[in-house]
Chain A
Amino acid sequence: MNDTNTPERQVGRRIDRLESRSKVTGTADYTHNVVLPRMLHAKIVRSVHAHARILSIDTSAAAAVPGVVKVVTAQDVMRVIPDPHYGPAFHDQPILAIDKVRHIGEPVAVVLSDDVHIAETAAALVSVEYEVLPAVFDEVQAANNTDVLVHDVLRPAGTFPDLKHLAGRKGTNVALDYRLRHGDVKTAFAQAAHVFDHTFRTQQVVHVPLEPMVSIAQPLDRRIIIHTASQSPSFVRLEIARLLGWAENQVQVKTRLLGGGFGAKLYIKLEALAVALALIAHRPVRVALTMEEQFYMITKHATTFRIRSAVDADGRITARHCEVYWNGGAYADIGPRVTQKSGFTAGGPYDIANLDIDSYQVYTNLPPAGAFRGFGITQVVWAYESQADLIAHKLGMDPVAFRRLNLLENGRPHATGTVLKDAGLRLVLDRVASAMDWDKPLDRGTGTVRRGRGIGLGFKALVAPTTSVATITAGGDGSCTLLISTVEMGQGSDTAMAIVAADVLGLRAEDIRVVNPDTDVTPYDMATLGSRSTFSMGNAVKQAAQDLLDKVRALAQEVGLPFEGTRNISTLLKKKFGMQAGTVVGTGSFVPPYQSPDADGRSPDITPNWMVGGTGIEVEVDTETGQFRIVRMENVVDCGTPLNPKVVQTQITGAAIQQLGATFLEKMEFDAEGQLRNASFSEYKIPGILDLPHQMGYAAVDSQQSTGPFGAKGLGESGCFGVASAMAQAIDDAVGVRIVSLPITPEAVYRALAEQRGEPLANTDSTP
């Protein structure tokens, strides 16, 4: 008999994260902590050039250091993995550079030692001779000019059904172009009362999860175990099996709690290198990055977004053309999917009868860019919301009124042809406005301290197609265990999934054991990304819990006892097996409806749901110095039913705080040769506690996602969407200058103020 049976609803309870106690006592289990017998440490020798031919690699001095077990180059890797190119969208990334390097920091060789300090010392002794090649860094230049080709031939992977159309092309740096054609943009522009043409830019930033990336490969007889801080264990298994030509069941991938992910730890990162090294050394090998090395591994796309809008005399947007260039760096990673998925909504959450979108993923000689909290959405919102404010200002309209007039309503088709449903755009906009007391006059300050405010609204189409599978078991005593490959990385997914299962089963969430992903044990899940787990895995878990109840009902019938839900599972099993024994297993899977876009980029089903986030910001700007202070920030999302309000709160504010970094602090600074000048926390500043807005509010609007588990959908990213443009507008509102390139630094504001006074400052920025 299970004494935890409770009729209390679990959905909506404020529950501590299941792993809270382990996190406050320091006993939480991270891959960072894994130590194996005979484990070697790997230190990576990295390229010092952005684009160069490798003429020779001299490993002799490094190999001679006492304690060095081996120095590994691409030649050694190819003996265990003949074609060592990996990647989720393109098989373009070599495990170690072969013949050529394509970005600063690309791995060229590895030193293995029992002592990490010896490996590090010896790595500095590996001597690589290069022939430096011309490099390309700017995304627009790389897309339109083929003087420098980052890759001679494109190698699409075809792992994802929606990337299958990527034909292998030659003579281009464009890895993917997504185009949408809706209505007659040309005619609408010709007839427009007003035409607006702006270009907005975002900078390259980096995730820097505080647990730096780490993977440990452990070779065994005809199989291998990979302990890895990964957001996508199922994909790692699939990709390693492909590289080795092995069956999936020979590759076991185990994750633990992640010390942050934010998209950095997606798909395949250090795992292929760790596997190659372990197979070469016949010993377990730990590849662990330092904070500095994370800057060379994966980043967030810099973008250039030219947005042209036609507006009628009443302030309605009648047509829009979006041209977005995504700086993908040297390897595609998941960039093509970012380009397409964020391309879908690049026109903004507005009802626009004529809309053309051209979205390009471009190779350059910068460190690779992939997914970063928002999957490209923050870059497109920055542009379309910045322009919304500029249009409203030009037409003398209130920015909120302009948005209300143009907003896409539920039941109306989005430009892709997919009808908007369960999207709380108006609810979120109205809630942000009321939280900001938008209808009341603002104290605009006096003298050199001026105040202003802005609102930004964004939305996102949930990524599809994807698959999630869940298993729930009930043991001989009736206690339940949930087996899922969703990775707990701080977003509270273990707890959310336990809540869904417990609600169906009539248990308390705290009494469900959630097993960390282990591909030998937990079933397939596409990945923990893009706020998809609550919706996709949540639906699979709900189905698995219902299936478990069905199995229990059948068992009750079989043994001739009454069905009492989870209450009497132990009695039923005891009757069947004659002792406390046996297992009841429920399974569920979820694949959301999706139809690939046609040649015009349109589809009646581009997404199973829409996530919405809005932000209001009030700033105080010093007109003498350009310094500013966020007086107030309000963040509102539509996440459907909040499964666990305690975690929902931290997800909304946490996302917004993280996005403040990209808004006014963070920028990877490269010199003219592509050298990164600020790859450490001493020079690359992420938001600290002193950067918090003076006053900060949050809310989830009252909404339901009809197709979600208990009406829920994801929210890990929604708090990011509206932050940057709201900040730019607040500053413009305060002092009348418009920043069009992120980050919005005090220096940028000071320069704009100087220009406004007719005293422009000399430009000292040498960033390519």
Chain B
Amino acid sequence: MSTTSTLIQFRLNGEPVSRQVEPHHTLLELVRECGLHGARESCGQGLCGCCTIVVNGQAVTGCIYPAMHAEGAEVGTIEGLEQDGQLDPVQQAFMDAGALQCGFCTPGFILMARQLLQQNSEPSDHEIRHFLAGNLCRCGAYPEIIEAVKLAGQRMRAAA
């Protein structure tokens, strides 16, 4: 074993995990090695949002986030949203609004949209656009994504 590796412990979607990581390993590599493929490497520079992972309630770009920083953290991925076969309202809204094409960027958008709606359940178009400006969709599903965020907000407000 490498002399530079460190054993870290964290919770992944609520389950305790222990992993040996190297200083150059990213959080994205770590969660993918755990078999969760919803966070993906695309631009590799933290500029597209495909690698979005939630650390202690805060969305981060997993492709440039050191794995070692996950020590002791609550790490959440897109796979953790579905509860007992029930989709999260944001996931459901993305389906209903048809807010996806190839789907590669979709988990990142959903995680960021959830973060927005947790702060502001009735965002304006302008607020949605600015909050999601760090996520890219090469298929151009943006109009439907804006609709999906509004729809999810409406449903979350109605359920509250």
Give A contacts to B, CB under 8 Å: 16-17, 19-28, 30, 32-33, 117, 207-212, 257-262, 290-292, 489-492, 646-647, 649-650, 653-658, 680-682, 686-690, 692, 696
B78 engages A680 (CB within 8 Å): no
Picked from A23, A25, A209, A682, the residue with its CB within 8 Å of the CB of B47 is A682
Cα–Cα, bound, A667→B24 (Å): 32
Question: With A26-B36, A26-B38 known to touch, is A16 a contact of B98 (CB < 8 Å)?
Answer: yes
Picked from B36, B79, B95, the residue with its CB within 8 Å of the CB of A16 is B95
Closest to A693 in B: B143
A26 engages B102 (CB within 8 Å): no
Question: With A211-B42, A681-B43 known to touch, is A24 a contact of B36 (CB < 8 Å)?
Answer: no
Cα–Cα, bound, A682→B136 (Å): 12
User: Looking at A210, A290, A657, which has the most chain B CB atoms within 10 Å of its CB?
Assistant: A210
Chain B residues 81-111 with CB under 8 Å of chain A are 81-82, 87, 91-92, 94-96, 98, 100-107, 110
B40 engages A211 (CB within 8 Å): yes
A654 engages B133 (CB within 8 Å): no
Given contacts A24-B95, A210-B105, 8 further A-B contacts (CB under 8 A): A24-B106, A25-B38, A25-B78, A26-B79, A32-B37, A211-B102, A491-B101, A647-B98
Cα–Cα, bound, A490→B107 (Å): 15
Chain A residues with CB below 8 A from B137, complex form:
210, 689
B138 engages A209 (CB within 8 Å): yes
A490 engages B36 (CB within 8 Å): no
What are 23 A-B contacts defined by CB distance under 8 Å?
A: A21-B87, A24-B92, A24-B95, A25-B81, A27-B79, A32-B37, A210-B50, A210-B136, A210-B137, A257-B103, A261-B102, A291-B43, A489-B102, A649-B98, A654-B101, A656-B140, A680-B45, A681-B43, A681-B47, A686-B136, A689-B135, A690-B130, A692-B142
Chain A residues with CB below 8 A from B101, complex form:
260, 490-492, 650, 654
A26 engages B140 (CB within 8 Å): no
B30 an interface residue at 8 Å Cβ cutoff? no
A-B contact count (CB 8 A): 160
Distance in angstroms from B39 CB to nearest chain A CB is 7
Cα–Cα, bound, A16→B128 (Å): 24
Distance in angstroms from A249 CB to nearest chain B CB is 30
Contact with A along B106-147 (1 / 0, CB 8 A): 110010000000000000000011101101111111111110
Distance in angstroms from A13 CB to nearest chain B CB is 13
Distance in angstroms from B142 CB to nearest chain A CB is 5
Picked from B38, B103, B105, B136, the residue with its CB within 8 Å of the CB of A681 is B136
Chain B residues with CB below 8 A from A692, complex form:
129, 142-143
Chain B residues with CB below 8 A from A32, complex form:
37, 40, 104
B57 an interface residue at 8 Å Cβ cutoff? no
Which 10 pairs of residues, A with B, have the shortest CB-CB distance? Answer: A26-B38, A490-B102, A657-B140, A259-B104, A23-B103, A26-B78, A490-B101, A654-B140, A24-B91, A33-B37
A655 engages B140 (CB within 8 Å): yes
Picked from A259, A649, A686, A688, the residue with its CB within 8 Å of the CB of B102 is A259
Chain A residues with CB below 8 A from B78, complex form:
24-26
Chain A residues with CB below 8 A from B50, complex form:
210
Cα–Cα, bound, A484→B100 (Å): 23
Distance in angstroms from A299 CB to nearest chain B CB is 15
Closest to A32 in B: B40
Cα–Cα, bound, A146→B52 (Å): 50
User: Looking at B22, B100, B130, which has the most chain A CB atoms within 10 Å of its CB?
Assistant: B100
Chain B residues with CB below 8 A from A489, complex form:
102
Closest to A258 in B: B102
Cα–Cα, bound, A682→B43 (Å): 9
Interface majority SS (helix, strand, loop, mixed), chain A: loop
Chain B residues with CB below 8 A from A22, complex form:
103
Distance in angstroms from A683 CB to nearest chain B CB is 10
A210 engages B98 (CB within 8 Å): no
A260 engages B104 (CB within 8 Å): yes
A25 engages B104 (CB within 8 Å): no
Question: With A26-B39, A26-B77 known to touch, is A260 a contact of B135 (CB < 8 Å)?
Answer: no
Chain B residues with CB below 8 A from A212, complex form:
41-42
Chain B residues with CB below 8 A from A649, complex form:
98, 144
B48 an interface residue at 8 Å Cβ cutoff? yes
Cα–Cα, bound, A491→B101 (Å): 6
Cα–Cα, bound, A211→B138 (Å): 10
B16 an interface residue at 8 Å Cβ cutoff? no
Chain A residues with CB below 8 A from B95, complex form:
16, 20-21, 24
Cα–Cα, bound, A490→B99 (Å): 11
Distance in angstroms from A332 CB to nearest chain B CB is 25
Cα–Cα, bound, A690→B24 (Å): 33
B44 an interface residue at 8 Å Cβ cutoff? yes
Chain A residues with CB below 8 A from B132, complex form:
689
Picked from A33, A491, A650, A689, the residue with its CB within 8 Å of the CB of B98 is A650
Closest to A657 in B: B140
Chain A residues with CB below 8 A from B87, complex form:
21, 24-25
Cα–Cα, bound, A258→B40 (Å): 13
Distance in angstroms from A526 CB to nearest chain B CB is 21
B133 engages A24 (CB within 8 Å): no
Chain A residues with CB below 8 A from B143, complex form:
653, 692, 696
Question: With A647-B98, A654-B141 known to touch, is A26 a contact of B24 (CB < 8 Å)?
Answer: no
Cα–Cα, bound, A687→B107 (Å): 19
Cα–Cα, bound, A20→B91 (Å): 10
Cα–Cα, bound, A33→B33 (Å): 10
Chain B residues with CB below 8 A from A16, complex form:
95-96, 98
Closest to A207 in B: B138
Contact with A along B3-44 (1 / 0, CB 8 A): 000000000000000000010100000000000111111111
A658 engages B48 (CB within 8 Å): no
A24 engages B140 (CB within 8 Å): no
Cα–Cα, bound, A257→B139 (Å): 14
User: Looking at A24, A211, A658, which has the most chain B CB atoms within 10 Å of its CB?
Assistant: A24
Chain A residues with CB below 8 A from B42, complex form:
210-212, 259, 291
Chain A residues with CB below 8 A from B36, complex form:
26
Question: With A25-B81, A658-B139, A689-B129 known to touch, is A211 a contact of B45 (CB < 8 Å)?
Answer: no
Chain A residues with CB below 8 A from B82, complex form:
25
Distance in angstroms from A122 CB to nearest chain B CB is 14
B133 engages A688 (CB within 8 Å): yes
Question: With A16-B98, A649-B98 known to touch, is A210 a contact of B48 (CB < 8 Å)?
Answer: yes
Chain B residues with CB below 8 A from A681, complex form:
43, 45, 47-48, 136
Chain B residues with CB below 8 A from A20, complex form:
95, 100
Picked from A17, A261, A687, A690, the residue with its CB within 8 Å of the CB of B140 is A687
Cα–Cα, bound, A24→B78 (Å): 8
Cα–Cα, bound, A165→B104 (Å): 41
Chain A residues with CB below 8 A from B136, complex form:
210, 681, 686, 688
Cα–Cα, bound, A30→B37 (Å): 9
Cα–Cα, bound, A682→B103 (Å): 22
Chain B residues with CB below 8 A from A211, complex form:
40, 42, 102, 104
Distance in angstroms from B87 CB to nearest chain A CB is 7
Chain A residues with CB below 8 A from B92, complex form:
24
